[in-house]
Amino acid sequence: MNVDDALPTFLAEAGELLREMEAGLLECTTGTPSADNINSIFRCAHTIKGSSGLFGLDPIVAFVHNVEAILDRVRLGQVSFDAELINVLLRCRDHIEELVAAAADGKPDDPGLKTRGDVLLAALGAFGTSGAAASTPRTEGASTASRESAASAPADGSWHISLRFSSEVLTAGMDPLGFLRYLTTFGTIRTMVVLSDAMPMADQVDPEKCYLGFEIAYQTTAARERIEGAFEFVKDDCTLNILAPNSPPAEYFQVLRGTGLKDDRIVQILQRCGTLSKAEQTPPPADSGARESAESDRSGERGAAQASAANRDRTIRVDANKLDYLITRIGELITAAATANLAASRSGNSELEECMSNVGALIEQVREGSLQLRMVKIGATFNRFQRVVHDMSRELGKEISLIVSGEDTELDKTVVERITDPLTHLVRNAIDHGIEAADVRLSRGKPSAGTIRLNAYHDSGTIVIEVSDDGGGLRRDRILAKALERGLIAQGDTLSDNEILNLVFEPGFSTAEKVTNLSGRGVGMDVVKRNIAALRGDVSIQSREGAGSTITVRLPLTLAIINGFQVAVGKSIFVLPLDTIEECVEFSATAGHDFTSLRGEVLPFVRLNNLFSIAAPPARRQSIVVVRHAGRRAGLVVDTLLGECQSVIKPLSKLFGEVDYASGSSILGTGEVALILDVPALIRKVAARAAA
């Protein structure tokens, strides 16, 4: 494969690794960084360096190398991992992102980038040198001590680690010594025998291949998993055998025989490791039972390695455009199938009709499946905000933590992409204007650290995303005053609390100068609302003065195809998203009323024939479709219920921009066009009428 062809994969992977690295770094700011966490950050940097090397992206390699070096020392406990270092590392991460972007643009040698990189490296260097001076003697002391103790070591008490690396490990960018050094962070290497037995004749030695084997007597209080974990990054590139202290001699022999060594050499090695005393130097016979167990152990490990490789292979990267193409085709397939269906039922051929219904069922499954392909978890988007919160709270000198829940909630990839900007806006607003300064918070009896929550869940065919803060909340009096001044409301208008709060989403409510004297909320909120409306979603706000605000964003799960329910009024057909429908009941109401009683509860309704000015006389037996959105119900009075259908959503052209209550259109099997009703808008209309 041409290396350049793989570049997009590299870019995508680098992006993922950088996100992982960022998440890891941010996690370290919230508590004591765990070894796992530092390892994962290290691994990210390491992998980026390795793959950049493959593409000859030297500026990236050079920069990441330094970042990796410092991370390695963090791992070894030589440099303390404090907030300052994390901050510099975050900036380094950003710089790597810029470098990767520059590489993607084909200009990796931008001098401006280089200068910025050097500044960061200088900052990193400051951590490196101070740590080095303090730590080098300590490591040396430790290893000297280890050699001394090895001399007098008793035969028991040490783990035995037998390690062979694949010959390609060096070119894969790994340094076996790094892993050995890491071992010294949670134990002592009592002694080590470096085996060069596998090294061929001098002229045949490829200096970039690794021929060395390591037999290590290692003392630690850590568990086997911890030792194994030290070789986590390299587990595909090494054969690792760990023997517990005081294992029977036969097991040592089994393991070492497995690496292809002769018995007398094994005795020599084990003696030098202090593992065998002189008395035990006779090799045991090749006990078949023991060999079997060692064999099965190894095959178990191999099995696990294969399983993890298989796991990795279970995902593939697909160009998003190909997916979009697939979805578009399926949309057309659905429309075509509806036409075929209609023709089949007209033909009166029952066999054909049955076939068509089978085809229809399969198409539905294909549709479900292909839409699923585009569903992604919102967690990745949420976690991006950890950084926003971290950076902004530092900048503003506020202490804020971000709590994320519902990360596994899935939604369409295109929706995720387009919701990120509005969400960023909302989160920034919450940080900047929602959360008060620490002293104000304390005086209000709240903890000095503010909390911002992001939550997501599914609710009747929509995804709900909540951004809440425990800050100062919105001041209704100020909103009212500002709205009056702006002419958004008239003197004497009576507004519900809810209406007052939602004034902040009105265009023209906010301009820059008002930011400060309105405790800032409302900055560009109309833009947020417009962006969300463009996704067929809506946004609302709840707030309690002094206690905080919650902004709720509701979005449809997908933008492409929905399960619809067709209804007819006169000759016009309308489609309702099936997820929004609760039930259908027979129409009954006292003449002149626009509400009815649904099992004892008041159900307000709208007549679609009035709403869309359909002149045809109402059918003899009308029905009410009960729809629900955002916790509110309403009835829609229709003439006929036509049943479920799959509807491909086509946006309404600008010509129909004036049409309220329709969110799109769909082409029916007959070739006719049906409007897709905007249920949230209808419910709002009903609610507004009820309030008036």
Partner 1 sequence: MELELEKTARGLKVSGEMTVYAAATLKPALLAELIAERDGIELDLSLVREFDTSGLQLLLLLQRESRVLNRKLQLTGCSPAVRGVLELCCQKSLLEAIQGAAS
Q: Which is nearer to partner 1, 44 or 150 (CB)?
A: 150
Sign of the dihedral through C-alpha 22, 24, 30, 33: negative
Give yes or no for residue 211 binding partner 1 (CB under 8 A).
Answer: yes
- List of E strands, 23-127: none
Q: Which is nearer to partner 1, 66 or 550 (CB)?
A: 66
- Residue from 42, 87, 84 nearest 67 by CA: 42
Q: How many CA atoms lie within 13 A of 629 on its CB side?
A: 29
Give yes or no for residue 199 binding partner 1 (CB under 8 A).
Answer: yes
Q: Which is nearer to partner 1, 126 or 132 (CB)?
A: 132
Q: Which is nearer to partner 1, 170 or 483 (CB)?
A: 170
**Binding string, residues 411-440; x marks residues near partner 1 by CB under 8 A:** ------------------------------
- Residue from 188, 96, 186 nearest 149 by CA: 188
Q: Closest distance between partner 1 and the C-beta of residue 138, in Å?
A: 12
Q: Closest distance between partner 1 and the C-beta of residue 208, in Å?
A: 5
Q: Closest distance between partner 1 and the C-beta of residue 207, in Å?
A: 4
Q: Closest distance between partner 1 and the C-beta of residue 135, in Å?
A: 11
Give yes or no for residue 219 binding partner 1 (CB under 8 A).
Answer: no
Cβ distance 265 to 144 under 8 Å? no
Q: How many residues does the chain have?
A: 692
Q: Which is nearer to partner 1, 202 or 512 (CB)?
A: 202
Q: Closest distance between partner 1 and the C-beta of residue 13, in Å?
A: 23
Q: Closest distance between partner 1 and the C-beta of residue 63, in Å?
A: 13
Q: How many CA atoms lie within 13 A of 345 on its CB side?
A: 8
Annotate 374-383 with b (16+ C-beta within 10 A) or e (fewer). Answer: bbbebbebbb
- Residue from 26, 29, 11 nearest 96 by CA: 11
Please list every residue from 631 through 650 that binds partner 1, using CB under 8 A. none
Q: Which is nearer to partner 1, 69 or 681 (CB)?
A: 69
Span interacting with partner 1, options 192-200, 218-226, 467-475, 497-505, rule CB under 8 A = 192-200
Q: Closest distance between partner 1 and the C-beta of residue 196, in Å?
A: 5
Q: Closest distance between partner 1 and the C-beta of residue 148, in Å?
A: 11
Query: In whole angstroms, what is the distance from residue 544 CA to residue 531 CA?
Result: 25
Q: What is the DSSP string of 420-467?
A: HHHHHHHHHHIIIIISPPHHHHHHTTS-SSEEEEEEEEEETTEEEEEE
Q: Closest distance between partner 1 and the C-beta of residue 147, in Å?
A: 6
Q: Closest distance between partner 1 and the C-beta of residue 118, in Å?
A: 14
Q: In this chain, which of 7, 193, 343, 363 binds partner 1, going by CB under 8 A?
A: 193
**Residue ranges in 169-248 assigned as alpha helix (H):** 176-183, 224-230
Please list every residue from 130 through 189 that binds partner 1, using CB under 8 A. 136, 139-140, 143-144, 147, 150, 169-171, 175-177, 180-181, 184, 189
Q: Which is nearer to partner 1, 143 or 271 (CB)?
A: 143
Q: Which is nearer to partner 1, 197 or 354 (CB)?
A: 197
> Which residue bears the tokens 């990267």?
317
Residue 542: C-alpha distances to residues 97, 449, 497, 531, 538 (Å): 37, 22, 9, 19, 14
Cβ distance 160 to 217 under 8 Å? yes
- Residue from 532, 510, 531 nearest 429 by CA: 510
Residue 425: C-alpha distances to residues 531, 532, 538, 551 (Å): 11, 12, 15, 11
Span interacting with partner 1, options 196-204, 225-233, 518-526, 549-557, rule CB under 8 A = 196-204
Query: In whole angstroms, what is the distance from residue 113 CA to residue 102 CA?
Result: 9
Query: In whole angstroms, what is the distance from residue 504 CA to residue 517 CA?
Result: 14
Span interacting with partner 1, options 28-36, 37-45, 190-198, 378-386, rule CB under 8 A = 190-198
Total binding residues for partner 1 by CB under 8 A?
32
Q: Closest distance between partner 1 and the C-beta of residue 173, in Å?
A: 8
Q: Closest distance between partner 1 and the C-beta of residue 404, in Å?
A: 40
Residue 129: C-alpha distances to residues 46, 68, 81, 120, 121 (Å): 21, 15, 14, 15, 12
Q: Closest distance between partner 1 and the C-beta of residue 382, in Å?
A: 40
Give yes or no for residue 192 binding partner 1 (CB under 8 A).
Answer: yes
* Neighbour order of strands in the sheet with 213-219: 188-195, 213-219, 159-165, 238-243
Task: Tell me the helix, strand and coil percentages in the chain, rounded to 5.
Answer: 50, 20, 30
β 632-638/548-556 pair status: unpaired
Residue 222, both tokens: 């850590």
Q: Closest distance between partner 1 and the C-beta of residue 73, in Å?
A: 12
Query: In whole angstroms, what is the distance from residue 196 CA to residue 218 CA?
Result: 20
- As separate numbers, helices (DSSP H) first and strands (DSSP E) second, the chain gives 21, 21
Please list every residue from 48 through 107 that binds partner 1, using CB under 8 A. 62
Please list every residue from 241 through 260 that binds partner 1, using CB under 8 A. none
**Binding string, residues 582-621; x marks residues near partner 1 by CB under 8 A:** ----------------------------------------
Q: Which is nearer to partner 1, 172 or 375 (CB)?
A: 172
Q: Which is nearer to partner 1, 150 or 581 (CB)?
A: 150
Query: In whole angstroms, what is the distance from residue 528 CA to residue 523 CA?
Result: 9
Give yes or no for residue 271 binding partner 1 (CB under 8 A).
Answer: no
β 400-405/450-459 pair status: parallel
Q: In this chain, which of 212, 294, 465, 483 binds partner 1, going by CB under 8 A?
A: 212
Give yes or no for residue 191 binding partner 1 (CB under 8 A).
Answer: yes
Q: Which is nearer to partner 1, 272 or 384 (CB)?
A: 272
Q: Closest distance between partner 1 and the C-beta of residue 205, in Å?
A: 6
Q: Which is nearer to partner 1, 78 or 455 (CB)?
A: 78
Footprint on this chain of partner 1 (rule: CB under 8 A): 62, 136, 139-140, 143-144, 147, 150, 169-171, 175-177, 180-181, 184, 189, 191-194, 196, 199, 202, 205, 207-208, 210-212, 214
